[in-house]
Amino acid sequence: MKAKPKAKSTPSAAKSRRAAAPKKQAAPAAAGAAREIADLRGQIAAISKAQAVIEFSLDGRILNANDNFLQAVGYSLEEIRGQHHSMFVDAAHRQTAEYRLFWEKLGRGEYDAGQYRRIGNGGREIWIQASYNPIFDAKGKPFKVVKYATDITAQVHAAQSLHSAIEQTQSVLSAARQGDLSQRVPMEDKSGQVGSLCQSVNLMLDGIAAARSAELVKAQETTRVKQGLDVVVTNVMIADADLNVVYVNDSIKTMLQAAEADIKKDVPAFNAASVVGTNIDLFHKNPAYQRGLLARMTSTHKASLVLGGRTFSLILNPINDEQGKRLGYVVEWKDLTVELAAQEREQRLAAETSRVKQGLDVVVTNVMIADADLNVVYVNHSIKEMLQVAEADIKKDVPAFNARSVVGTNIDLFHKNPAYQRGLLAKMTHTHKASLVLGGRTFSLILNPINDEQGKRLGYVVEWKDMTLELEAQKREQERLEAERKLANENLRIKNALDNVSGNVMIANNDREIVYMNAAVGEMLVKAESELRKALPHFDARKLMGASIDVFHKNPAHQQGMLSNLRSSYRTEIKVSGLTFGLIASPIVNDKGERLGTVVEWRNRTAEVAVENEVSDIVGAAANGDFTRRVALEGKDGFFKMLAENINQLLQTNEAGLNEVVRVLGALAKGDLTEKITAEYKGTFGQMKDDANKTVEQLTAIVSQIKNATDTINTASREITAGNTDLSARTEQQAASLEETASSMEELTSTVKQNAENAKQANQLAIGASDIAVKGGQVVSEVVTTMAAINESSKKIVDIISVIDGIAFQTNILALNAAVEAARAGEQGRGFAVVAAEVRSLAQRSAGAAKEIKSLIGDSVEKVGNGSKLVEQAGKTMDEIVTSVKRVTDIMSEITAASQEQSQGIEQVNQTITQMDEVTQQNAALVEEATAAARSLEEQAGGLQSSVSRFRLDEQAAGFAAIAPAAPARSAAARPAPAARPAVRPAAPARRPATAPARGTGSGERHDEQWTEF
């Protein structure tokens, strides 16, 4: 912003004002001016203390610099004074036209500001946020440039590191949206909070399979290109092959918005806010011609476009794929309107040069012009007259001086040390004032260099004035004016700097009245005016100048006390009617330490806080088990939009995977083994799906085998019970026969024969029962082994869930550490602190889910353990049955032997009958025991069958290898009744039959090959 020059005060005008103004009015005005000067000096001192300040001549030579700047670049003032600004610029940029135009623009008095890369002592890279402010003299001509700068090297490097880390983390999360969590954030060149957070993300993703790295790299490069275009100052527009605009960066948006009103004069449908999606035919009166030109384009093409009185320079480049197919066009825009206007002004200036010369000839000002070699080439009539009057005095010091032949002489004639004067003039870049004493006369000289458009020195123009009579008075007046001018320039420099900074700055005096607002804070408050009025009905953003800052507070007394005691910068955050503002208040003091007021920096954080709250609410809901909520994408772009998409995808994947696992485990806890996970997953969820389905399949096979085994046990126990019942009946019949034998010796032979036959049959039944019992014992042993395998598999599942729980715990700890490191980082780590907090919540939720799964598996383990105990009891019972049946077999063999011995002689009949009676009683007792044991086995088998019946199997599993049923025992009714008593004859001794080996069943096979290692 160029300052309007003040009119120069002449001595005669000053005398007139002093004569006209009463002395009573002069004192208050002087006091007010002194206060204003002190105020401005205090502000200047505060800025110099806070920022780096350096002064340049118009050609870029360093005039002065403060300690802040010297410390930043690593030089002393003596090392840089008189050097060119280019010493802080790298060699490549130093030779560019851009750098030359930069100083030409400053030389014309144009302001420039932004972020700049500079080179310090030793080649050290420095980044600064700076503004270059031309300073104007009383005639409105620039005579030097003052730069205000802040060293932002650390912020730029941190932002670059953080930007790189965010890009890499976003790329990893983008891959996670497809269930592929194998990507890692590179750890090279990362340290501090950024390194800790990246390491936490990598640790959380450890153990997951790899995915498509080439596509990810391409996506990262595309993102970097877009983000780079978003921040470059060049105005960039990209169109597709059909000439539809698909991208504009922020710089061109700003340019088009500034030119929108003018463009609409020729293109009424133009809207700078919705350029993307429109066709570039909109800008051309003959689109067909432009399309033909673009279709034939093979290299860079430059053109100009006139719209609504504005002239735009266009640089077009085609975009082709690797096969040469046209994909679109990239266009660089530049608004040349101001530049062309400047050129037009220069042409007008050249046309007026002749008129200026004619005017100089008749003005009363004494004007002399010399060329670059200091030869006088022009003097006007006024200076000729002055020199003729002073000629006699001048000759006292310059005897060769001739007032009538000044043109053609060299100005070295007037100086005792011409070399010094030539050096001074060679370095001159702006107006220079000097005095020259010749022959007792003092002349005031005002010198200005004359340069062409390229900055080449053409000569000098010198204004002479004989100050001999007015020297003392003018000296005093000049000192006063110089002081006022310096103060005014400094004040103007401060105001220009504040007017053009991007920060929202407001200044209030000690009475809390607003005395200054820059454009940025005014624009911010105007945008927020409607919302602020909800809490502050009388708030008017356009009437704040001169108003009290109490208008922002419901309790001004508290703010008054806080500001009155303010000694250093104070940061706070306020919320007004749903808006969130960050404030930095700093006191303003003068060089005497007197409080002059307060400067406040505003920042509207409403949108940022809204995104933080939304993400916190949704992730908090996810931590409480609600995975249905999603982050809204409306109104978000850039990093916040990508973060929202990745969080939504992560919630969707977790919700689907956990719901599937809970469904299958819930069915397993209810005994339903038909449920499986059918959806497709990758990475950890894919492994969880395979393990869960494999577990269900193994449990299905085991339960099917148990069911078949219990059927076999039931069949065997029923056969044993029937055999024992038959044996008991025959034992009773034998006892009756013994009674008949005791009562009648005649029936002895028949009874002995019948007893032998009965003993033989009982021996056969006992052998059959022994075989069945042995088979039942083998089956129960296999059932015990199978249940042990089930129990071991369930324990392995519990171990796996424990490992998952441990991983979740470690993730929680790492997320906590990341949150602590982010908190240490302060403002820069706030975004990562939010992400770390949400990762920690998800880890806690994962731990909770793992505990629930572990509880369900534990319940299954407990029930399988109970089944194992029942099977063990059944095994013990079968062992007892086998022992009892063997004893019955032995006893029946003894009965057979006894019957054979009875046939050897009648003399042993009584003894034999007594022995048979005792043996029969023992047989009856043993049969009762065997019957009871068989019934107990049947009850145990029924209990085991009831335990496994609660498991529901699919039809294929239910058809696993069934156990072949044993042949049913013959009932007592099936045997023929004893024949009539035959003649008594000795019975042949019966042989003890060999015990038949137990027959294996199909269900007894082990299916170990079906198990896989967890």
Domain definitions of the chain by residue range: 11-151, 232-335, 363-468, 502-604, 683-967
Q: In percent, how much of the chain has pLDDT > 90?
A: 11
Bridge partners, 500 (sequence order)? none
CATH superfamily placement of domain 683-967? Methyl-accepting chemotaxis protein (1.10.287.950)
Q: Is the pLDDT of residue 787 over 50?
A: yes
Confidence of residue 11 (pLDDT cuts 50, 70, 90): very low
- Say what the pTM is: 0.30
Bridge partners, 581 (sequence order)? 574, 604
The H-assigned helical ranges of 670-744 are 683-743
Question: Which one is predicted more confidently, 626 or 205?
Answer: 626
Q: pLDDT at position 1014, please?
A: 25
Q: Is the pLDDT of residue 520 over 70?
A: yes
Confidence of residue 136 (pLDDT cuts 50, 70, 90): very high
Q: pLDDT at position 208, please?
A: 52
Confidence of residue 657 (pLDDT cuts 50, 70, 90): confident
What are the CA-CA distances from residue 988 to residues 583, 753, 793, 900 (Å)?
Answer: 121, 10, 59, 6
Select the highest-mean-pLDDT range: 255-264, 559-568, 741-750: 255-264
Distance between CA atoms of 923 and 896, rounded to whole angstroms? 13
Q: Is the pLDDT of residue 359 over 80?
A: no
Distance between CA atoms of 500 and 520, rounded to whole angstroms? 8
pLDDT in tens, 810-848: 677 766 666 766 776 766 666 667 776 777 777 777 777
SS3 assignment, position 995? coil
pLDDT in tens, 675-688: 888 888 888 888 88
Q: Is the pLDDT of residue 970 over 60?
A: no
Distance between CA atoms of 311 and 330, rounded to whole angstroms? 19
Q: Mean pLDDT check: name the lowest of 165-179, 586-600, 658-672.
A: 165-179
Please compute the mean of the pLDDT values over residues 859-870 and round it to a whole number: 72
pLDDT in tens, 803-818: 676 676 767 776 666 6
Tell me how many degrees the CA angle 366-372-376 measures, rounded to the nearest 5: 40
Give the CATH architecture of domain 11-151.
2-Layer Sandwich (3.30)
pLDDT in tens, 25-40: 556 667 777 787 888 7
Question: Which one is predicted more confidently, 349 or 450?
Answer: 450
Give the CATH architecture of domain 232-335.
2-Layer Sandwich (3.30)
- Cβ neighbour number for residue 463 with a 10 Å cutoff: 16
Confidence of residue 1 (pLDDT cuts 50, 70, 90): very low
Place of tokens 């000289």: 445
Q: pLDDT at position 127, please?
A: 92
Q: Could you tell me how far CA 593 lies from the centroid of its own chain? A: 46
Q: pLDDT at position 881, please?
A: 73
Place of tokens 């990239």: 330
Same fold flag, 11-151 and 502-604: yes
Q: Is the pLDDT of residue 346 over 70?
A: yes
List, as one string, the DSSP characters of 320-335.
E-TT--EEEEEEEEEE
Confidence of residue 95 (pLDDT cuts 50, 70, 90): very high
Q: In percent, how much of the chain has pLDDT > 70?
A: 77
Q: Is the pLDDT of residue 570 over 50?
A: yes
Estimate the crossing angle of helix 748-825 against helix 683-743, to 10 degrees. Answer: 160
Q: Mean pLDDT check: name the lowest of 77-91, 885-899, 943-957, 976-990.
A: 976-990
Confidence of residue 651 (pLDDT cuts 50, 70, 90): confident
Question: Which one is predicted more confidently, 125 or 560?
Answer: 125
Confidence of residue 134 (pLDDT cuts 50, 70, 90): very high
The H-assigned helical ranges of 140-286 are 153-176, 192-204, 213-231, 250-266
Q: Is the pLDDT of residue 901 over 90?
A: no
Q: What does the block give as tokens for 732?
A: 């009773």
- Cβ neighbour number for residue 705 with a 10 Å cutoff: 25
Question: Which one is predicted more confidently, 631 or 951?
Answer: 631
Please compute the mean of the pLDDT values over residues 865-869 and round it to a whole number: 73
Q: Is the pLDDT of residue 943 over 90?
A: no
Q: Roughly how many angstroms between the first and final C-alpha of the chain, as a whole number?
A: 74
Answer yes or no: are the C-beta atoms of 178 and 796 closer than 8 Å.
no
Answer yes or no: are the C-beta atoms of 812 and 844 closer than 8 Å.
yes
Q: Mean pLDDT check: name the lowest of 165-179, 288-302, 897-911.
A: 897-911
What strands lie across the sheet with 125-136, from one edge to the other?
Answer: 62-65, 52-56, 142-151, 125-136, 112-119
Confidence of residue 114 (pLDDT cuts 50, 70, 90): very high
Residue 977's contacts (CB-CB under 8 Å, 6 or more residues apart) are none
Give the CATH architecture of domain 502-604.
2-Layer Sandwich (3.30)
Confidence of residue 143 (pLDDT cuts 50, 70, 90): very high
Please compute the mean of the pLDDT values over residues 656-668 and round it to a whole number: 82
Q: Mean pLDDT of all residues in the chain?
A: 77
Answer yes or no: are the C-beta atoms of 611 and 640 closer than 8 Å.
yes
pLDDT in tens, 473-502: 767 777 878 877 887 788 788 878 887 887
Please compute the mean of the pLDDT values over residues 435-439 and round it to a whole number: 87
Confidence of residue 748 (pLDDT cuts 50, 70, 90): low
Distance between CA atoms of 705 and 699, rounded to whole angstroms? 10
Bridge partners, 571 (sequence order)? 584
Q: pLDDT at position 679, please?
A: 81
Please compute the mean of the pLDDT values over residues 525-529 and round it to a whole number: 85
Q: How many Cα atoms are found within 13 Å in the side-chain-facing hemisphere of 165?
A: 26
Q: pLDDT at position 578, please?
A: 81
Q: pLDDT at position 266, please?
A: 87
β-strands 504-509, 595-604 pairing: antiparallel
Instruction: Please say whether the dihedral angle defined by the alpha carbons of residues 706, 709, 710 and 711, taken in this order, is positive or negative.
Output: positive
Q: Is the pLDDT of residue 213 over 60?
A: no
CA R_g for the chain: 54
Distance between CA atoms of 239 and 257, rounded to whole angstroms? 19
Answer yes or no: are the C-beta atoms of 951 and 671 closer than 8 Å.
yes
Select the highest-mean-pLDDT range: 30-34, 139-143, 339-343, 644-648: 139-143
Which stretches of 590-711 are assigned E, i.e. beta strand? 595-604
Q: pLDDT at position 672, please?
A: 82
Question: Which one is predicted more confidently, 296 or 3?
Answer: 296
Three-state secondary structure readout of 817-854: HHHHHHHHHHHHHHHHHHHHHHHHHHHHHHHHHHHHHH
- CATH tag for 363-468 (out of 3.30.2270.10, 3.30.450.20, 3.40.50.2300, 3.40.1190.10): 3.30.450.20
Please compute the mean of the pLDDT values over residues 914-934 and round it to a whole number: 78
Q: Is the pLDDT of residue 975 over 60?
A: no
Q: pLDDT at position 935, please?
A: 78
Q: pLDDT at position 998, please?
A: 39
Please compute the mean of the pLDDT values over residues 789-807 and round it to a whole number: 70
Confidence of residue 211 (pLDDT cuts 50, 70, 90): very low
Answer yes or no: are the C-beta atoms of 731 and 891 closer than 8 Å.
no
Please compute the mean of the pLDDT values over residues 516-537 and round it to a whole number: 84
Q: Is the pLDDT of residue 466 over 60?
A: yes
> In terms of Cα–Cα distance, which of 440, 486, 436, 423 is closest to 462?
436
- Cβ neighbour number for residue 21 with a 10 Å cutoff: 11
Q: pLDDT at position 961, please?
A: 41
Bridge partners, 112 (sequence order)? 132
Q: pLDDT at position 907, please?
A: 58
Q: pLDDT at position 3, please?
A: 39
Which secondary-structure segment (H or E) carries 921?
helix 909-949
Per-residue b or e along 737-773, where b marks 16 or more CB atoms closer than 10 Å to that residue's CB? bbebbeeeeeebbbbbbbbbebbbbbbebbbbbbbbb
